[in-house]
Amino acid sequence: MSDPERLTGKIRAALAPCSLGDWPTPLERAPALAMAAGVHALWLKREDRSAAPCGGNKVRGLEFLLAGARAGTVFVTVGATGSTHCLATAVHAARLSCAVALAQFPQPETDSSRAVAAACAAHAALVVRAQSPAGLPLAVLVAWRRARRLGPRRWIPGGGAHPRAVIGHLLATLELAGQLAEPPDAILAPLGTGGTVAGILLGVAALGWATRVVGVRVAPQLVANRWRTLWLAWRARSLLASRGIPLSFSPPRGLVVVDGLGEGYGHPTSRGESARRLAADHGLILDSTYGAKAFAVLLRRGTCDVQRVVFWHTFGVPASIGERTG
Ligand SMILES: Cc1ncc(COP(=O)(O)O)c(C=O)c1O
């Protein structure tokens, strides 16, 4: 057994996540897309294929956030109307005989966000919609209060951005050790609430790789920023240390945050949409809010001067639930 496998086993034994996903997710080489993007080698980490009923990066964190919940627990969480975090939480909580109450704020509508919003309404026990992002705190309060009638409540922060969830993304990164012959120059991922990139950073440090982690900011700076991402990584590291699993970690050196937001969260950008079309021509289906904006950064020469790249493919809402490209 390799060291990363041993570390994964220790972490699973110490934190007892529940089982929602199919691991490891595949790592696929994409030579034609690499050529189109102008890099020497490109791999796709298929986090979109993490679970059959509803995949995507959020399943990694949910295994830790939903663990140990009694049947009937109501998870209260928050996100935009097209939030795949909200949808994944609702779908996977139901598999554990638990329910979900959502507080949501509007985002620009695309086919994809409309489909996810409809699926959220179908899968959640309660949805409280704010008229605007400013109304969100009140919507959260109302959702929290109403959820009391449905069962014992547990809070999950927006995007599932919690140190426990970060550990799920750390495990995803450890999978790369068995999937790549050599460390890549960079791992490129969308940066929303930060948990995914925080876990990748911890994983890269645990593997002893010099790989750069490029987080493409697709949400406002208040939510998606370097400080919060590093804070999540440090908190996850402390949690592991408290369970007797120390990790070496000097994250600031490895993290590069690049702005990909454009007009705002959920607003497609022209660069993102061209990247999305290029990826689609090669069979890679990206969403406008996260994947397309992140992939666009790979196409920007000079911003990200790397040759061997792993792209974190995070959007995994299947057709049965409503995937269409935004
Ligand atoms: C499809 C998708 N990709 C990427 C992200 C960003 O992940 P994080 O919030 O952990 O930064 C999200 C967050 O909701 C997401 O839904």
Q: What is the DSSP string of 138-186?
A: HHHHHHHHHHTTTS-EEE--GGG-SHHHHHHHHHHHHHGGGT-SS--SE
**In the predicted structure, residue 163 carries a pLDDT above the cut 70:** yes
Pocket residue to mutate for ligand 1, from 48, 64, 85, 312, most atoms within 8 A of Cβ: 85
Is the same domain home to 247 and 289?
yes
pLDDT at 302 over 60: no
Range of the domain at 98: 58-160
Residue 4 has a pLDDT of: 96
- What percentage of residues in the chain have a pLDDT greater than 90? 89
CA of 127 to the centre of ligand 1 (A): 20
To the nearest whole number, what is the mean pLDDT of the chain? 94
| Structure-token pair, residue 46 | 């298929």
Same domain (yes/no): 187, 306: yes
b/e for 288-314, b at 16 or more Cβ within 10 A? bbbbbbbbbbbbeeebbebebbbbbbb
Position 211 in a domain: yes
Say whether pLDDT at 303 is over 60: no
Taking the centre of ligand 1 as the mean of its atom positions, its distance from the CA of residue 1, in whole angstroms, is: 31
Instruction: Give domain status of residue 325, yes or no.
Output: no
Residue 321 falls inside a structural domain: no
- The predicted model gives 284-292 an average pLDDT of 95
CA distance 88 to 140: 18
Q: What is the pLDDT of residue 300?
A: 85
Mean pLDDT, to the nearest integer, of 208-212?
95
Q: What is the pLDDT of residue 325?
A: 36
Q: Is the same domain home to 262 and 133?
A: no
Q: Indicate the top mutation candidate among 113, 314, 315 to test ligand 1's pocket, ranked by most ligand atoms within 8 A of CB.
A: 314
Tell me: do 182 and 303 sit in the same domain. Answer: yes
CA gap 71, 93 in Å, rounded = 9
Model pTM score: 0.96
Q: Quick one: pLDDT at residue 323?
A: 42
* 278 plus 149 within the same structural domain: no
Q: Which residue has the CA at smallest separation from atom 5 of ligand 1?
A: 192
Q: Please give the tally of structural domains in the chain.
A: 2
49 within some domain: yes
User: Are both 275 and 195 inside the same structural domain?
Assistant: yes
Give mean pLDDT, residues 250-279.
Answer: 93
Q: Starting at the edge strand that comes first in sequence, how are the strands of the sheet with 153-155 ordered?
A: 126-129, 99-105, 74-80, 153-155
pLDDT in tens, 10-58: 999 999 999 999 999 999 999 999 999 999 999 999 999 999 989 999 9
In a domain, 227, yes or no: yes
pLDDT at 304: 58
Instruction: Kindly give the distance from the C-alpha atom of residue 97 to the centroid of ligand 1, in angstroms, as a whole number.
Output: 25
Give the residue among 11, 91, 13, 10 at the shortest CA–CA distance from 50.
Answer: 91
Q: Is the pLDDT of residue 324 over 60?
A: no
Residue for token pair 């609702």: 90
Ligand 1 centroid – CA 168 distance (Å): 13
Whether the predicted pLDDT of 251 surpasses 90: no
CA 57 / ligand 1 centre spacing (Å): 7
Which of 160, 186, 219 is the C-terminal boundary of a domain?
160
Looking at per-residue pLDDT, the higher value among 2 and 46 belongs to 46
pLDDT at site 112: 84
Residues 170-191 have a mean pLDDT of: 97
pLDDT at 326: 37
Picking from 160, 187, 210, the residue at the C-terminal end of a domain is: 160
Q: Calculate how far, in angstroms, residue 157's C-alpha sits from the geometric centre of ligand 1.
A: 13
For 1-10, 149-158, 220-229, which range has the lowest pLDDT when averaged over its residues?
A: 1-10
- CB within 6 Å of ligand 1 — which residues? 56-57, 84-85, 159, 161, 190-197, 287, 290, 314-315
Residue 139 sits in the same domain as residue 285? no
| Contact between residue 13 and residue 240 where contact means Cβ atoms under 8 Å apart | no
Amino acid at 75: F
d(CA 83, CA 130): 14
By alpha-carbon position, which residue is closest to atom 3 of ligand 1? 314
